Amino acid sequence: MSRPKQLFRNLNAKIASIPMILTAVVIFVGGTAWTVVHSFTNSRLLPRLNFIGLAQYERLWTTPRWLISIENLLIYGSLSLIFSLLVGFILAALLDQKIRFEDTFRTIFLYPFALSFVVTGLVWQWLLNPDFGVQSVVRSMGWESFTFNPLYDKDLVIYGILFAGLWQGTGLVMCLMLAGLRGIDEDVWKAARVDGIPMWKTYLFIVIPMMRPVFVTTLVIIASGVVRVYDLVVAQTSGGPALASEVPAKYVYDYMFAAQNLGQGFAASTMMLLTVAIIIVPWAYLEFGRRR
Amino acid sequence: MRYKILTAAFAAAVSSPFAAPASAADLEVAHWWTSGGEAAAVAELAKAFDATGNKWVDAAIAGAGNTARPIMVSRITGGDPMAAFQFNTGRQAEELIEAGLLRDLTDVATKENWAQVIRPASLLEGCTVDGKIYCVVVNIHSWQWLWLSNKAFADAGVPVPTNWDEFVAAAPALEAAGKIPLAIGGQPWQTTGAFNVLIPAIAGKDVFLKVYKDHDAEAAAGPEIAKVFKAADDARRMSAKSNVQDWNQATNLVITGQAGGQIMGDWAQGEFQVAGQVAGKDYTCLPGLGVNELISTGGDSFYFPKLDDPEKTAAQDVLASTMLSPTTQVAFNLKKGSVPVRGDVDLAAANDCMKKGLEILASGNIIPDTNQLNTEDTNNQLNDLFVEFFKTPTLTPEEAQKRFAAIIAAAD
């Protein structure tokens, strides 16, 4: 007898949230399901329900370009996780030392985050261009043989993109970390000082474990950003030289639209969804599952 | 630059409704002709259409077909079609026609007798689905040209080559003189294009048709194509130092004598013309790489999406017939560097290179364009393969040929 009451309790709020629920169900869940279903078809320019089993996936995993994209994503992803967490935390810890002009520094470090990936990509394309970037500046100062040309070197290009990505994103990580550090009770620090524990040990063994939720949230933000990296690559290298800086999101776009092969693009985007699910599901389980 | 053009295109599209004359219609025409020679050519079409009392609203999308096509397709499938759009002649619009999104132009075509005036007949076949005609072919473009800078060879102290082998042999001399022997831009379609030109030149027309028309994987893995890959290996070495992106930047290297040559379609001709160069004196053109004189009959076609407004629909018919009228054909194609689709026009103004092309066309030594034979999917896979091949010296011709054969085997 209590069930209908539950349903109609707070009715206004429930009605008000109907549009958002519909959006979530129809657009996100529905769109995702539609994409997954069509990834098993041979749709070309227009979606068609002509099922061909796993053929799109078989083709995907034998395509050299997709394999290069995955490899690049792994390099870019793991390094940008490590470095943005490391650098972001160190910057936050330094800012937390009650220094002067903290606001100024924080603004400076966070500023790149205000730029879009497209602008970031273009700026770093120019900075790393051998003809008018860092290389030409150093050469004009007299070091004629200086060579610094990462964007035109197949083995280095992904690190050139990584650097631009870190430059853009580390400020945000720093701010999240700083918020986490500010959340640590002053008394913890006092107690550590009374016990004579050195500062680095306090950070490593007391503060960081206490900041676990902040770290997990940051990790998810960085990881989801990594999986969908696209605009940065397009603006900086458009995938070149050759296919050396291709990423999965670019494969999806190119095959869905330029190659007029929706089936192949959908198969690739389903694989990306799977990657995100692998990241998000354990996190959601850890964060929300425990509380029950 | 790219964004500037786009913004201008959008601005033009947005501002157009307010400038409409009362009776005639404004038609938004989408295309990707943005280089100097191309823009001059498209202005001729616009001029001719404006003269009919209607208004050409230019919607140029910069960045070549691979960028422009998705934008056009998404506008059509999204229910906001432009009045006309350009695709390459071939299979690119196949599914849009099947889905019934494009207008059937058969009435205009029979009235103006396209079947008689358009030559070669294979061009109109590309527009025909189930006996109905869906597009206007505006020009014939051929890929099979080697453009050589006379200045570069003079600087290097070697005579201007007359065929591909002599060109390969002259490469060391060019390099010694500080020139890039072969200019190829970084855009993937350019490397694929160069390879597709090497196939008929080295292996012959029959092998080309076997591989691309019949999608015969055995021929693609065979010894004839192996020779083509060897030639592509030469081309790779000769182009190693060209670090430009766009095709017209590569052409510019040839125009300024910094590069020896470029394998590029006859649209490059427009760039030489804009730069004021004279065929035979400043530059030399070798159809079929000077080995096997043939040309492909690709090109550009305009398609007309179905519109609700009857006035605009009527104006679409006017635009279609304007594009094919003899005067427009000559004016447009001279600027574009391509050949008119009508056999009955006077081309006294054509230069040496264009005359060579016309002769080959008349002799009937023609092949279909890869766009007419392959789907965009296959072309993209080829792009991925060749851009990697040309930029990766460690990828052997044998390994690349294996991948090539696999793509051809899967093509439909």
Give the residue extent of every domain in chain B: 2-141+298-363, 145-296+374-410
Contact B379 A59 (CB under 8 A): no
Separation in Å, CA of B79 to nearest CA in chain A: 14
Closest residue of B to A241, CA-based?
B391
- The SS3 of residue B300 is strand
Q: Across the interface, do A240 and B381 touch by the CB < 8 Å criterion?
A: no
Q: Is the pLDDT of residue A291 over 80?
A: no
Residue A276 has pLDDT above 90, yes or no: no
Do residues B346 and B329 touch, judged by C-beta distance below 8 A? no
Q: Note the pLDDT tens digit of each residue in A175-227.
A: 999 999 998 888 988 999 899 999 889 888 989 999 988 998 898 888 888 88
Span A111-134, pLDDT tens digits: 999 999 999 999 998 898 887 888
Record: fold of A64-289: MetI-like fold (1.10.3720)
Residue B309 main-chain phi, psi, to 5 deg: -75, 115
Q: What are phi and psi of A11, to 5 degrees?
A: -60, -40
| Mean pLDDT of all residues belonging to chain B | 87
Determine what percent of chain B is predicted with pLDDT higher than 70.
Answer: 94
Average pLDDT over residues B21-45: 84
**Residue B3, both tokens:** 């964004």
What's the pLDDT score for residue B356?
87
**Which amino acid, A139?**
R
pLDDT of amino acid A29: 92
Return d(Cα B312, Cα B306) in angstroms, integer: 10
Domain B145-296+374-410, CATH 3.40.190.10 — does that match? yes
Q: Is the pLDDT of residue B363 over 70?
A: yes
Amino acid letter, B227: K
For residue B138, the model assigns a pLDDT of 92
Query: What is the average pLDDT across A72-84?
Result: 93
* Tens digits of residue pLDDT in B87-143: 988 888 888 998 899 999 999 999 988 888 888 888 888 888 888 999 999 998 899
Q: In the A/B pair of chains, how many CB contacts fall below 8 A?
A: 66
| A contacts of B73 (beta carbons < 8 Å) | 45, 257, 260
- Distance, in angstroms, between A245 CA and closest chain B CA? 11
Report the pLDDT value the prediction gives residue B266, as an integer from 0 to 100. 86
CB pair distance less than 8 Å for B69 and A257: yes
Q: pLDDT-based confidence at A5, cuts 50/70/90?
A: low
Q: Does A50 touch chain B if contact means CB atoms closer than 8 Å?
A: no
Fold (topology level) of B2-141+298-363 = D-Maltodextrin-Binding Protein; domain 2 (3.40.190)
Interatomic CA distance for residues B251 and B256, integer angstroms:
9
Count other C-beta atoms under 10 Å from residue A181's C-beta: 19
d(CA A17, CA A13): 6
pTM: 0.81
Is B381's CB within 8 Å of A259's CB? yes
Cβ contact (<8 Å) for A45 and B96? yes
Domain boundaries, chain A: 64-289
What pLDDT sits at residue B22? 40
Alpha carbon of A191 to those of A96, A194, A195, B293, B351: distances in Å? 18, 5, 6, 88, 90
Q: What's the ipTM? A: 0.76
pLDDT digits (tens, 9 = 90+) for A10-43: 888 889 999 999 998 999 899 999 999 999 998 8
DSSP string, A95-106: HTTT-TTHHHHH
pLDDT at B227: 94
Query: For the segment B315-342, what is each residue's pLDDT rounded down to a tens digit?
Result: 999 999 999 998 899 889 888 878 888 8
Cross-chain Cβ contact B387/A152 below 8 Å: no
Q: How far apart are CA A126 and CA A284, in angstroms?
A: 40
Looking only at the bridges linking them, the beta strands covering B180-182 and B259-263 are: parallel
User: By the CB < 8 Å criterion, does A216 face chain B?
Assistant: no
Residue appearing with tokens 């770093």: A124
pLDDT confidence tier of residue B344, bands split at 50, 70 and 90: confident
Nearest to A65 by CA among B191, B407, B246, B193: B407
Angle (CA) A170 A175 A177, round 5° = 90
Alpha carbon B124 to its chain centroid, in Å, reads 17
* Residues whose CB falls within 8 Å of the CB of residue A231, separated by 6 or more in sequence, listed in order: A116, A117, A118, A121
pLDDT digits (tens, 9 = 90+) for B60-85: 998 778 788 989 998 998 889 999 99
